[in-house]
Amino acid sequence: MSALASLSSVQAFVPEPVPIVVTRHAEESALLCGQRFFMVRAGHVKLHHMRRLDDRLAAHLDGLSVAGEAGSRAADEALANLGPGEVFTSFALALDNRDDRRIAHLLALAEAVADVREALAFAVGWVSAQSLRGIVGNLLASPQALQRSIGIAACDFHRVDPGDMLAVAMTDPSVLLRAQALQAAGECGRSDLLASCVGALDDEDMACRFWAARSAVLLGERQKLIPVLLDAVRVPGGHYRTPALSLLLKLVGSTRAAPLLRSLIAEPQGMRDAIRAVGVVGDTHAVPWLIAQMADPMLARLAGEAFTTITGIDLAWNNLEIKPMQGAEAADADDPEAVDVAMDEDEGLPWPDPVGLLSWWDANASRYPAAGERSFMGAVPSWSHCLRVLRGGCQRQRAAAATYLCLLRPGTQLFPTAAPAWRQERWLTRVPEE
């Protein structure tokens, strides 16, 4: 039998894609992507949880890819919802298939609809470097600022230096491109761009000022950026308030942090920020105060997470949790009368046992750094300790550990805790132990 005849006989046994199955792959991919956006920033999710979700997401994307054009059409049809998950699925599939027409369509869509841009950036971070070969170069060379920003995001996600164009992008007229470039400068460890980041601290745009300050911190600057971070913190409900507060408090000790903590507690809606802040400062002197906040159902789980951030103690593992308290029910996403159906940021966190924790703390406080010192997950931040947290902690703890590694060694590439889990596992084997 000839090779051509043999191929034909094999093709005869390849079943046609089943439309309902292909549609299910598209729906599940979008749903899992939406869950992943939450899990990446969740307080209870570890890397192995991410791996399970990522494997499921990859399997559904593979199903769409195997279906060929039918898979691409199903992804296109799902775009009618215009949700982040649908956009991610369609763009990731188009990148893997090197489908120039669909790539161009989705990039044009992102130009018109700002809400889908994060999904496009995640898609270029999800697919393999091989799938991006040639595509990222075209994005970086594009006359469109959005496309250049997505190209920079792709490099950042894959821990690849974008090269000389990064410095040019940091001064571009486009706020979107400037912000992305300023963010990447610190995350890529570009110490040669520290002066440019410091120079951008007076940018007219808040996003650019924040990313300039953050990158300057990661690259070794300390004092000049504190006023910029304080400005972001002083905007109640501002988009950059929480990350600016977290970064600022990693730089200052408990004595300098005290006035800011008092001001947060005095704000009508500032108690949650104050609890987060106490967890970042890591002063064991504040642990009894944290335990006292656990009596409030609206604050209990967040206070428990802050307690863990300081002590490193897993509340569930150590039998220091209780049944859910009354009075903190989240909005029902299926209730049409609900005003706010956003995912509860405390979702999945254990409910702490205040009585048990107080007793536990009385018996174990002497094991921890003295009052006034910073305790992060049970120890003063060091390279080896933060690396252990990066490997075994929950996502918010892992993100903090990645930042501490950069603070300990300015110019270190920021470990991307949002990258696909299998890629993170590979990279973790390459991080130097000391």
Q: Residues 186, 219: contact at Cβ < 8 Å?
A: yes
**18 and 117 share a domain?**
yes
134 and 77 in one domain?
yes
Residue 360 lies in a domain: no
Residue 356 lies in a domain: no
Final residue of a domain: which of 238, 264, 290? 238
The two counts, helices (H) then strands (E), for the chain are 24, 0
The half-sphere exposure of 367 on its side-chain side, counting CA atoms within 13 A, is 12
Show pLDDT as tens, one digit a residue, over the chain (434 residues). Answer: 444 444 344 444 456 778 899 999 999 999 999 999 999 999 999 999 999 999 999 999 999 999 999 999 999 999 988 899 999 999 999 999 999 999 999 999 999 988 899 999 999 999 999 999 999 999 999 999 999 999 999 999 999 999 999 999 999 999 999 999 999 999 999 999 999 999 999 999 999 999 999 999 999 998 888 889 999 998 877 889 999 999 999 999 899 999 999 999 999 889 999 999 999 999 999 999 999 999 999 999 999 999 999 999 999 999 999 999 886 654 444 444 444 445 688 999 999 999 999 999 999 999 999 989 999 999 999 999 999 999 999 999 999 999 999 999 999 999 999 999 999 999 999 988 87
C-alpha angle 90/95/98, rounded to 5°?
120
**One domain for residues 131 and 25:** yes
Closest CA to 415 of 156, 221, 96, 99: 156
Separation CA 395–CA 418 (nearest Å): 9
Compute how many other C-beta atoms are within 10 angstroms of the C-beta atom of residue 334: 7
339 assigned to some structural domain? no
Cα 319 from chain centroid (whole Å): 29
| Per-residue pLDDT at 7 | 39
Which of 238, 264, 292 finishes a domain? Answer: 238
Single-letter amino acid, residue 252: V
Q: Which pLDDT does position 241 carry in this prediction? A: 93
Q: Same domain, yes or no, for 207 and 77?
A: no
Structure tokens of 159? 């821990």
Same domain, 19 and 79: yes
Q: Which residue has the tokens 């903590």?
A: 261
- Examine the domain organization and report whether 215 and 139 are in the same domain: no
Predicted TM-score of the model (pTM): 0.91
**Do 148 and 94 belong together in one domain?**
yes
Burial (CB count within 10 angstroms: exposed 0-12, middle 13-18, buried 19+), residue 335? exposed
* Inter-CA distances, 332 with 85, 142, 297, 335, 341, Å: 21, 44, 17, 5, 6
Contact status, residue 320 vs residue 356, Cβ threshold 8 Å: yes
- Whose CA is closest to 371, among 299, 294, 289, 308? 289
Task: Report DSSP state, residue 156.
Answer: H
One-letter amino acid at 102 equals R
Cα 271 to Cα 278: distance, rounded to the nearest angstrom: 10
Residue 429 corresponds to which amino acid?
T
Contact yes or no for 347/257 (Cβ under 8 A): no
> What's the domain range around 224?
200-238
Count of domains observed in the chain: 2
* pLDDT confidence of residue 238: 84
